[in-house]
Chains A and B, each alone.
Chain A
């Protein structure tokens, strides 16, 4: 049995971490021995690179992306390219992210791309993942009439803009 303990005050500002599993699926158990800590244990040694601790709403967004394939309201399904890119950027974003997320949404955009957005009062951040190499992937943010766009495909930039959203 291997265990790690996470203090809920950092880096997730009181939000319980969620666990994103890719590749092998370690047998995980989670316990909360005290109000401020969270313990994650697994019976088998996972590859370190496959286990990422992320804020719960990112985990929910990843699940929401997977669920789009079964969503009857979505006539056009997201492409594998868009889903892979979104997962990559989302799982990179929590590194160093010291904020929890407010309202988030995901829907299928033109050409099977993905449109993810987060809002907090008059601020909004959007991550648009193109449906293919031929389509643009970008970050957009606005506050009132002020708008900005970045075509950097970078989870760290997403994290920075989400911190701006929460500030």
Chain B
């Protein structure tokens, strides 16, 4: 079961590689390419349900996060949902649905990655490491 998120929701995308940013700290399309190992969709978090620092410290290494507006994500034909179990466990985790993998549809995978990178806005650029 998944809950549709309202268009007003602000979403977070964690930056897990430094190379996902250009020299000026802008997020690149590579950050929005779907990994086929994550068959459910592109992982995001919901800003108002997330303790930013604690969330980013959970990754072995992270380089900050960008925000995206749920309504704008819907404008490019994608859906934004939160699995019921994520709502119940309070993790703030949610998913962007509708992004094909590179193997399924290269043109759409790349153009959607570009569109998501263009609409994302820098929120945090702190490097965090569990080491």
Contacts and interface: CB of A to CB of B under 8 A. Distances in A.
A111 interface: yes
Interface of A: 72-75, 103, 105, 107, 109-111, 113, 115, 117, 124, 126, 128, 130, 134-136, 138, 140, 142, 147-149, 151
Contacts, number: 64
B34 interface: yes
Nearest to A145: B111
Contacts of A105: 19, 22, 28, 30
A140 B61 CA distance: 30
B33 A109 contact: yes
Nearest to A150: B106
Interface in B1-50: 17-20, 22, 28-30, 33-37
B106 A110 contact: no
A77 B107 CA distance: 24
Nearest to B103: A136
B33 A115 contact: yes
Contacts of B17: 73-74, 107
A72 B101 CA distance: 25
A149 B37 contact: no
Give the most central of B29, B34, B110: most A CB within 10 Å. B110
Contacts of A126: 29, 110
Contacts of B22: 103, 105
A113 B30 contact: no
30 contacts: A73-B18, A103-B22, A105-B22, A105-B28, A105-B30, A107-B20, A107-B30, A109-B33, A110-B33, A115-B33, A117-B28, A117-B30, A126-B110, A128-B102, A128-B106, A130-B102, A130-B103, A135-B102, A136-B106, A140-B106, A140-B107, A140-B110, A142-B110, A142-B111, A142-B114, A147-B110, A147-B111, A147-B114, A149-B106, A149-B110
A73 B19 contact: yes
A42 B60 CA distance: 47
